[in-house]
Amino acid sequence: MIQKFISLQWKEFIRSSSFQKGVAIKVLLFIAAAYIGGMAIIAGAGLYLGIKKMIPGIDPMLVVNSFIIFWFMADLLIRYFMQQMPVMNIKPLMTIPIKQKTVIHFLLGKSVISFFNLLPLLVAIPYCVTAYINGNYPLLNILFWLLSIIVITLSLNFLNVLVNKSNTVFYITATLLVSIVACQYFGIYNIAQHAGMVFYGLYMNPYYIVIPIAILAILYYANFNYLNNRFYLDSAISKKVKEVNTSDLSWLDRFGSMATFLKNDVRMIWRNKRPRQVVIMSFLFLFYGVLFFTNKLYNDMPAFLAFASIFITAGFLFSFGQLVPSWDSEHYKMMMSQNIPYRQYLESKWYLMVIAVVISFVLSTPYIYFGWDKYAMIAAGASFNIGINSFVTLFGGALNRVPIKLNERAKAFSNTQGFNPTQLLIALPKLLLPVLLFWLPYYLANYNVNAGIITLAVSGVVGLVFRNYFLTQIENVYQKGKYKTVAAFDEK
């Protein structure tokens, strides 16, 4: 039966619209994965000798075990935001004689096949090889330590599944991680030292491996039990009835024919958890500049300050804008069947992002405290976000065909539903282009900061001048991929 499931999943993959999104993007993602994997192998191979050279007289194995807990913490954090959860259309399977446990075991096994589970091995295996060759460590101890790392990595995989599915597990895990970092940072408790002794004990005493194996078994059972208790047809098709509160949005009528779209977006943000979380997270972007402006180190690196200035006013644009048109995936087919000009739909999204950038710029006024030059950078960043980044974001939406189910319960603070690796590629020009536009004139003008600020601001103005041209080109891209997008949003 597992073989049959694998066959069905393969057919679903090659027949889905996402498979036809473009060979170039898949090649770039493969190159990125190969590059990261190659760097991991090089880092693992040089880790033992590097520690031996930098910290002579101390066992490198003890050093690695002292800091490996922070590796696992970073691993869990990256998984939470980037690892896609295993999904499978189980509704057709509920009506045929297939054991429920078999489907659940297949789903959990599917989550193991992930680049995030492979990456630690690309570091740990070369490290163990070089440590065994150069350090004369007992082979049995090295092998069982490596096996412990593999088991802990799989445990993080299943913990991440629970964190994504359960708010309770999320809050407990987040509290624990924040407490560990705070204790280490403020010197309350040396986590690195004591955790290092625990992991070093896995090396010194191979039979201790039963502990991580037991943790893995517990997490696997917790995942199995969680899915098993929700594997019912009624829970899949039942709908919750909620009272809807109306609000007066007549002030948006000044936008004319686009007012209908703007009102729909405002209502969606007001009534649904996921977009509300996006608005909250975009507000936190306003404090991004504090990390840079309060650090004297960056005063001699204005390009980094320009980078931070982009983020201050781009919170809503980056978080909400990158998921256009996924926000409307549930009724996208209906919208496309109506006599609705595509241009108005896209223009309404653009105006929404522009309004958000303007509001963020106004709220960033307290940054004047750090100097008018810093505030001028923020103003130039806002101009670039309005005139360039808004159009790049809309263009990226044409390649985003991952639906968002607004009526499904979202996880705490975030939801990777609607996220796909393509967005990372689209994000590169939004992040690197403003830094390049600032740094080049800054360098050519004999390190004159004003030259970089003016160039960044003027680029945004130029983008506004060619607004109609950009929107027309973006509209053409959306029109060409309209039916693919409709088919992708209709997939379950």
Asked if residue 181 belongs to a domain, the reply is yes
**Span 90-113, average pLDDT:** 77
* Domain match, 262 and 153 both: no
Give residue 84's pLDDT band: very low, low, confident or very high (50, 70, 90).
Answer: low
Tell me the CA distances in angstroms from 418 to 19, 144, 351, 488, one per residue in order.
16, 39, 22, 12
Q: Give tens-digit pLDDT for 8-27.
A: 666 766 666 555 555 555 67
Asked if residue 245 belongs to a domain, the reply is no
> In terms of residues, how long is the chain?
492
* Domain match, 227 and 254 both: no
pLDDT at 73 (0 to 100): 87
Give residue 416's pLDDT band: very low, low, confident or very high (50, 70, 90).
Answer: very low
Asked if residue 244 belongs to a domain, the reply is no
The answer to whether 401 and 21 are in contact (CB under 8 A) is yes
* Domain match, 165 and 65 both: yes
* Domain match, 206 and 331 both: no
* Domain match, 396 and 428 both: yes
Count of domains forming the chain? 2
Asked if residue 243 belongs to a domain, the reply is no
* Domain match, 228 and 346 both: no
Contacting residues for 30 by C-beta, under 8 A, at least 6 apart: none
Asked if residue 348 belongs to a domain, the reply is yes
Q: Give tens-digit pLDDT for 276-317.
A: 777 877 888 888 788 788 877 777 778 888 888 888 888 888
Tell me the CA distances in angstroms from 239 to 369, 403, 407, 409, one per residue in order.
51, 19, 9, 12
Last residue of a domain, one of 203, 237, 271: 237
Q: Please give the torsion angle defined by the CA atoms of residues 450, 455, 456 and 462, in that order, rounded to the nearest 10 degrees.
A: 150
* Domain match, 273 and 227 both: no
* Of 64 and 86, the one with more pLDDT: 64
Give residue 235's pLDDT band: very low, low, confident or very high (50, 70, 90).
Answer: low
Count of alpha carbons within 13 Å of 193, Cβ hemisphere only?
6
Q: Give tens-digit pLDDT for 330-359.
A: 888 887 777 777 888 888 889 889 988 999
Closest CA to 174 of 417, 424, 420, 411: 411
Asked if residue 173 belongs to a domain, the reply is yes
Asked if residue 242 belongs to a domain, the reply is no
* Domain match, 282 and 169 both: no
* Domain match, 109 and 256 both: no
| CA–CA gap between residue 48 and residue 126 (Å, rounded) | 9
- pLDDT of 399 higher than 90: no
* Domain match, 208 and 105 both: yes
Give residue 86's pLDDT band: very low, low, confident or very high (50, 70, 90).
Answer: low
The per-residue pLDDT of the chain, averaged, comes to 80
Last residue of a domain, one of 237, 263, 296: 237
Last residue of a domain, one of 209, 237, 265: 237
Angle at 347 between CA 398 and CA 332, to 5 degrees: 50
* Domain match, 227 and 304 both: no
Q: Give tens-digit pLDDT for 142-159.
A: 999 999 999 999 999 998
Asked if residue 299 belongs to a domain, the reply is yes
Which range of residues forms the domain containing residue 8?
Answer: 2-237
* Domain match, 452 and 321 both: yes
Least confident of 64-78, 237-251, 292-306: 237-251
Three-state SS for the chain is CHHHHHHHHHHHHHHCHHHHCCHHHHHHHHHHHHHHHHHHHHHHHHHHHHHHHHCCCCCHHHHHHHHHHHHHHHHHHHHHHHCCCCCCCCCHHHHCCCCHHHHHHHHHHHHHCCHHHHHHHHHHHHHHHHHHHHHCCCHHHHHHHHHHHHHHHHHHHHHHHHHHHCHHHHHHHHHHHHHHHHHHHCCCCCHHHHHHHHHHHHHHCHHHHHHHHHHHHHHHHHHHHHHHCCCCHHHHHCCCCCCCCCCCCHHHHHHHHHHHHHHHHHHHHHHCHHHHHHHHHHHHHHHHHHHHHCCHHHHHCHHHHHHHHHHHHCHHHHHCHHHCCHHHHHHHHHHHCCCCCHHHHHHHHHHHHHHHHHHHHHHCHHHHHHCHHHHHHHHHHHHHHHHHHHHHHHHHHCCCCCCCCCCCCCCCCCCCCCCCCHHHHHHHHHHHHHHHHHHHHHHHCCCCHHHHHHHHHHHHHHHHHCHHHHHHHHHHHHHHCHHHHHHHHHCC
